[in-house]
Amino acid sequence: MTILEAAHALRKRAVSSAELTETALKSVRELNPKLNAFMTVMEDSARAQAKTADAELSKGADRGLLHGLPIAVKDVFETCGVRTTCGSAIFKDNVPNRDAAVVAKLAAAGAVLVGKTGMHELAYGITSNNPHFGTIRNPRDQDRIPGGSSGGSGAAVAAGMVFMAMGSDTGGSIRIPASFCGTVGLKPTSGRVSRYGVMPLDFSLDHMGPLARSARDAAATLQAIAGFDARDDTSSREPVDNYLPPADCSIRGVRIGLPENFYFDRLDPEVDAAVRRMAANAESLGAHVIPLRVPDIPALNAVGRIILLAEASAVMEKHAGNRNLFGADVMALIDQGRLLAATDYINAQRLRRMMQRDFAQLWRRVDCLFTPTTPMAAPRIGETTVQLGDQTEDVRLAATRLVRGINVLGFPALSMPCGVDRRGLPLSLQIIGRPFDETLVLRVAAALEDAGSAE
């Protein structure tokens, strides 16, 4: 059942928020011992919120599509009075005295917060194999990683525990778990969703967005959380659009760019075929697929890595001397950032501006880009390398290769399922849009879902 279907059922009185919430809590009780998707379960407050939602809806006080629906947020979002660990031993006893802006907006929309989802330590990695809080497992194959860093959110949505779970994305951390778990994941434009009250990994690359069961569910969530927030210095005053694609949405005439360089290099052949099939499906729905060359993505990724290493190490510098507080993989990244020169960080930010200018030219020719989200399906837990073509590649670098650069540019990007491979593992399409055009990205994804392309 999707958010739209549940919202319809609630208003027909076919089901209550209390019933949906009990179903979610039961599912968490049954599945979480295996998947470890949830860090904290908030049974009592969830039941109270559900009771309030039912009372409000019965009086005709309707807060919108999320009203009364069980959801979760990654443990990077501050929750007043509820432990927020960021998946780190440093913050294992951290209990904030405020709600993140996103948490407050979801509450105002009437959503029922079932709990906090697990994550890769400090949101700094893609496996969600957390040395402090345990390994999170992929519901599609429990021997495999769910991706990360929002791995608990991906697992919770894919397992059907909640309708939607919020994630954060600094170098792909919403889209990678969406890809590996087979959900939709939306990284909005920089500034579209407030970062206030979210524990930072990187000041200039962090983005907040939903993992959900469908494009329309992601749209319904974005509608609730988008908008200007004076407490976030990167927050945009760009007007909030109506994001929800209509039931019979059309993509006739939409110009879809299909990169001829970089994005289709070194892929699992099944990923390549699945994404090209999606482009063909879009064409059959009336879109124009335009082959084109994109600017230098490896350079963009190098710039993104310099910025991330430097900023994340700056955030963690005061803890860096206490090495036993960090997992080995995260400590290695923090050490790398501490050795970079200040001039390299500044020059990476100068190159970032150059690249933003170069990439902006793309939007004269196309309305969005189709690329794979990840070059492969979910790796096994503990795998550190992956074989792609004739090359062996580090799993983290492979998983972030096609998504990291978009955080540097700030464009919106959505990952959606596009079938399964020979082992039954999800494959995924990434749709990249022009700044603040989440509406088109979501419409294209919804049209493909309506046509059955995501199955």
Partner 1 sequence: MKNWKKIAEGSDISIPEPDLDRISPALDALEAAFRPLTKEIPHDMEPAVAFYVFPEAAE
Which residues, 17 to 46, sit near partner 1 by CB under 8 A?
none
Cis bond upstream, residue 153 (ω within 30): no
Site string for partner 1, 259-298 (x = CB under 8 A): ---------------------------------------x
- Under rule CB under 8 A, residue 306 binds partner 1: yes
CB 244 within 8 A of CB 214: no
Where does this chain touch partner 1 (CB under 8 A) — which range of 84-92, 226-234, 239-247, 373-381? 226-234
Look up residue 94 and give its two tokens. Answer: 């951290």
* Residue 396: CB minimum distance to partner 1, A: 10
383 close to 239: Cβ distance less than 8 angstroms: no
3-class SS at 46? Answer: helix
Q: Work out the angle between the directed axes of helices 17-35 and 3-11 (0-180°, nearest 10).
A: 150
Alpha helices, H only, 36-78: 43-58
From the list 33-41, 144-152, 347-355, 375-383, the region that binds partner 1 by CB under 8 A is 347-355
Integer Cα distance of 426 and 38 in angstroms = 22
Q: 190-209: which residues touch partner 1 (CB under 8 A)?
A: 204
Q: Does 303 bind partner 1 (CB under 8 A)?
A: yes
- Which residue, 19 or 335, has its beta carbon nearer to partner 1? 335
Catalytic annotation on 149?
Answer: yes
CB of 382 to partner 1, least distance (A): 18
Closest CA to 110 of 54, 156, 153, 162: 54
Cβ neighbours around 50 below 10 Å, total:
25
Stretch touching partner 1 by CB under 8 A, among 99-107, 139-147, 230-238, 368-376: 230-238
| In the complex, least distance from residue 336 CB atom to partner 1, rounded to whole angstroms | 5
Give the whole-angstrom CA distance, residue 140 versus residue 115. Answer: 22
- Out of 1, 41, 285, 299, which residue is the one contacting partner 1 (CB under 8 A)? 299
Of the candidates 128, 150, 153, 173, the residue annotated as catalytic is 173
Is residue 233 a contact point for partner 1 (CB under 8 A)? yes
The answer to whether 342 contacts partner 1 (rule: CB under 8 A) is: no
φ, ψ at 166 (rounded to 5°): -80, 145
Decide: is 351 part of the binding site for partner 1 (CB under 8 A).
yes
Q: Minimal distance in Å, beta carbon 283 to partner 1?
A: 35
Out of 48, 55, 95, 332, the only residue in the binding site for partner 1 (CB under 8 A) is 332
Q: Which residue in 27, 5, 9 sits closest to 17, CA to CA?
A: 9
Choose between 112 and 334: whose C-beta lies nearer to partner 1.
334
Residue whose tokens read 């992601």: 218
* Minimum distance, C-beta of residue 208 to partner 1, in the bound complex (Å): 16
Closest CA to 348 of 408, 404, 295: 408
DSSP states along 138-196 = BTTBTTB---SSSHHHHHHHHTTS-SEEEEEESSSTTHHHHHHHT-EEEEPPTTTB--T
- Closest approach, Cβ 252 to partner 1, in A, equals 36
Rama region for 147: left / alpha / beta (φ>0; ψ in -120 to 50; rest): left
Q: Rule CB under 8 A: is residue 384 a binding residue for partner 1?
A: no
Q: How many residues line the site for partner 1 (CB under 8 A)?
A: 32
Asked if 316 touches partner 1 (CB under 8 A), the answer is: no
Residue 433: how many CA atoms within 13 Å on its side-chain side? 21
Place of tokens 């407490």: 231
Q: Binding residue for partner 1 (CB under 8 A) from 145, 193, 348, 395?
A: 348
Residue 282 and residue 264: Cα distance in Å, rounded? 18
Q: Which token pair is 365? A: 């020719």
Regarding 385 and contact with partner 1 (CB under 8 A), the answer is no
67 binds partner 1 (CB under 8 A): no
Please report whether residue 353 would count as binding partner 1 according to CB under 8 A.
yes
CA 358 from centroid of its chain's CA atoms: 25
The single residue of 16, 128, 149, 313 carrying the catalytic annotation is 149
CB-nearer residue toward partner 1: 45 or 204: 204
Residue 392 interacting with partner 1 (CB under 8 A)? no
- Whether 74 is catalytic: yes
Rounded Cα distance between 297 and 42, Å, is 42
Residues that bind partner 1 (CB under 8 A): 204, 230-231, 233-234, 298-299, 301-303, 305-306, 309, 321, 323, 331-332, 335-336, 338-339, 344, 346-354, 356
Q: Among all residues, which ones are annotated catalytic?
A: 74, 149, 173
